[in-house]
A and B are shown apart, each in its own frame.
Chain A
Amino acid sequence: MKSYEDFTLEDFVQDLYFRKWVLGELNEKDSFWENWYTENTDKQAIIDQARSMVIGLQYIPEEVSQDETDKAIEHILLKLKDQHHTPIYRLLLWKVASVLVIVFLGGMGLWKLLSTSPASPNLAATLMTEEIKWINNDSHVSKRVQLPDSSKVDLRPLSRLGVMKDFGKTQRSVLLIGEAFFNVEPDPRKPFFVHSGNVVTKVVGTSFWVRSYEKEDNVSVSVVSGKVTVQKKEMTAEAAPSTSEIILTPNQQAVISKSEDKILKKLATAPVIISESEKYSKFRFTNTPISDVFLTLETAYGITISYDTNLFKNCNLTAWLSDEDFFEKLNLICETIQAEYSITDGQILIQGLGCN
């Protein structure tokens, strides 16, 4: 390994660490190269040239958007399906995943929304006042925030939480830019509100996620325990509460588009077991009627599973499931009873021919 003192111009241009510095990709606290530059006065000319060259050798990034990628991949998978039969649930799963990805990569920011939309004077005005204390998380790990009412918020990296000065006295309202997990102390007299983009989430006492990044077109809310209502804020000031309000129960998720007027109800991407009972967290089946199997799953995850009871009445399952996640369990069960599942409106629908 050569030391930097012996480096030629070519070596510098090649050096990954050096390149990162020139292109501003190093950690801000890393001042190695600044120091080195100051200390090695005889090398400054060569460093300057190497810097120009690294910059000059950059390419104009020709963007391949996520959307273009997704469409192309979907096309390839369809071609593949023509060549051999693919179980429907796999394609569905893939579609669900890709919808979420597209959704999260969407385009319009809260700031943009606030600064360009004259129709939202309230929130914008509120944001500008001194009445809000902002808590920023610029680190790489989640930051635990405890609010005056003992509710807890885990603020994800690069997220901001705005807390009203008089929080807890007459109301409980917070603003969120980014993503956070809320664990709210019950207080029926003062519901807890999370404002994010043009979405208001109202809670009595529960725990849930809110994701609302400036750069993303969508806001998503997913519930871990309790019950939450989500509504889209009308952009016209002082309007009566919008009718587009939905109720979420555990393992359900709402995805709200900032630009379009619609709320989608989905299943959480990774449902968690919500039942306290030991009985429902063990998934050991020995010749168990399929109706019992589905009931166990429904109770454990709080997710409704619909199927034709008559058609599947002869189906049994012998399997010990444990560490698999919800969808893996469902896959396994469906493969055993030769069925397929689909997800509609936050529910699971099982279809198949039944067993003899």
Chain B
Amino acid sequence: MLSSKISHARRAQLRNIPQEEYAGHIWLAFKQGEEEAFTELMQLYYPALLNYGNRFQKDREFVKDCIQDLFLELWKTRESLADVLTPKSYLLIALRRKLLRESNKIKWFREASEVKDDYEFEVQFAIETYLINNEIQHEDLKKLHISLERLTKRQREAVYLRFYQELSYDEIARTMVINYHSAVNLVYEAIKFIRNNWMYP
């Protein structure tokens, strides 16, 4: 009883530290069974998870159900979870796995573990609205828009994780179940592809 009170107070002190480090502490408190920490964890990451999940599955309610199951499972198994320092990528990985598995159940695929490239990854780039609102470099951006459309879904996902969720390459690699160099390559190749199509069409 006392320990949870103390760590609660400690958490309050920790509010001045960088968010990532703070999240690490929240994770530990959550593992010890603190419901407030659990709530805070959800507050911190629910929007990011829903946004990411929606890239794979347009059905928002389906994604929300998956996130709910994910958190309930995490709470149930909290004591046996690893001490992760960056809960964000941990949660993204877990959600990705769950979504692909659940989506496949719907499609009546039996071997869920076989999932490799059999998923969708939809991202809408802001460039369309930008094109309408902005006259500057109009022609250039139009070309850029066309080449963005032609990125592969794995490139899209890597670019999304890098620039939107701001994950490190290490985290991207773990999230997409690829190695570090592949993660770096996906992003660099995406940029290179866009450049080549754009500058020398």
Surface stretch bound by B, among A6-14, A233-241, A348-356: A6-14
**Which residues in A have their C-beta under 8 angstroms from that of B144?**
52-53, 56
List B137-183 residues whose CB lies under 8 Å from chain A. Answer: 137, 140-141, 144-145, 148, 159-160, 162-164
A49 and B199: CB pair below 8 A? yes
In the complex, B18 has a CB within 8 A of chain A = no
In the complex, A60 has a CB within 8 A of chain B = yes
In the complex, A59 has a CB within 8 A of chain B = yes
Which 3 pairs of residues, A with B, have the shortest CB-CB distance? A64-B47, A58-B126, A56-B127
In the complex, B64 has a CB within 8 A of chain A = yes
A326 to nearest B CB, angstroms? 13
Query: Given A59-B123, A94-B39, list of 16 further CB < 8 A pairs?
Result: A9-B195, A10-B195, A49-B198, A52-B141, A53-B194, A55-B130, A56-B127, A56-B194, A57-B159, A62-B54, A73-B39, A73-B42, A80-B72, A86-B35, A93-B36, A335-B1
If A9-B191, A58-B127, A90-B35 touch, whether A52 touches B137 (CB-CB below 8 Å) is yes
How does the 8 Å CB contact mask read for A93-125 relative to B, with 1 for contact and 0 for none?
110000000000000000000000000000000
List A18-55 residues whose CB lies under 8 Å from chain B. Answer: 19, 48-49, 52-53, 55
**Which residues in B have their C-beta under 8 angstroms from that of A52?**
137, 140-141, 144
Which residue of the partner chain B has the closest CB to A58?
B126
A10 and B125: CB pair below 8 A? no
Which residue of the partner chain B has the closest CB to A65?
B47
A354 to nearest B CB, angstroms? 20
B195 and A49: CB pair below 8 A? yes
In the complex, B132 has a CB within 8 A of chain A = no
Give residues in B with beta carbon < 8 Å to A: 1, 5, 8-9, 35-36, 39, 42-43, 46-47, 50-51, 54, 64, 67-68, 71-72, 75-76, 123-130, 137, 140-141, 144-145, 148, 159-160, 162-164, 187-188, 191-192, 194-195, 198-199
If A52-B140, A332-B5 touch, whether A10 touches B191 (CB-CB below 8 Å) is yes
B68 and A57: CB pair below 8 A? no
**Which residues in B have their C-beta under 8 angstroms from that of A169?**
none
If A52-B144, A75-B68, A94-B36 touch, whether A60 touches B47 (CB-CB below 8 Å) is no
**Which residues in A have their C-beta under 8 angstroms from that of B126?**
55-56, 58-61
In the complex, A69 has a CB within 8 A of chain B = yes
B194 and A72: CB pair below 8 A? no
A70, B158: Cα distance in complex, Å: 29
A324, B192: Cα distance in complex, Å: 56
In the complex, A187 has a CB within 8 A of chain B = no
